[in-house]
Amino acid sequence: MNAQEIINQLPYGKEFLFVDELLQVNEEFVKGTYTFSKDLNFYDSHFKNKPITPAVILTETMAQIGLVCLGIFLLKDQLNDKNLAFAMTSSALDFMQPVYPGEQVWVSSEKKYFRFNKLSCSVKMENVKGEIVSKGTISGMLLSQGHE
């Protein structure tokens, strides 16, 4: 499965897709990019006159690239089942730098473990200067849609 096929499998609509490109993906690691467009609607309110990207959106970006893209790659043989979905189960992230409108970030993720349909990864987000924006651990599970 190549990078574009992985991106095409992501379960997000245009307004909530935070993956532009996957630069590297294998059984242990994924690296990708996203540029936060200046016209994203949350910048109007977070914060007035000094917009920055909300931490929850940074977390989502790290989860989409670092957890879901890697999960899709790892589960490529099972993706014919249209009822598969991913759910983030936990995150422990530290934030060190703000991300402003128009900035590009790089997310890299290394698999810690993948068993019983649970994936846990060490993730890191860097800005264009190579500064660490955020780092930590994100975990999630593969679920069948309709799972109660």
Catalytic site residues?
46
- Provide the b/e sequence for 39-75 (b: ≥16 CB within 10 Å): ebeebeebeeeebbbbeebbbbbbbbbbbbbbbbbbb
| Domain range list for the chain | 3-144
Helix ranges (DSSP H) in 11-69: 55-63
Q: Please state which CATH number belongs to domain 3-144.
A: 3.10.129.10
pLDDT tens profile 73-97: 998 877 665 566 788 899 999 999 9
- Are 140 and 71 contacting, i.e. CB atoms less than 8 angstroms apart? yes
pLDDT tens profile 7-39: 998 989 999 999 999 999 999 999 999 999 999
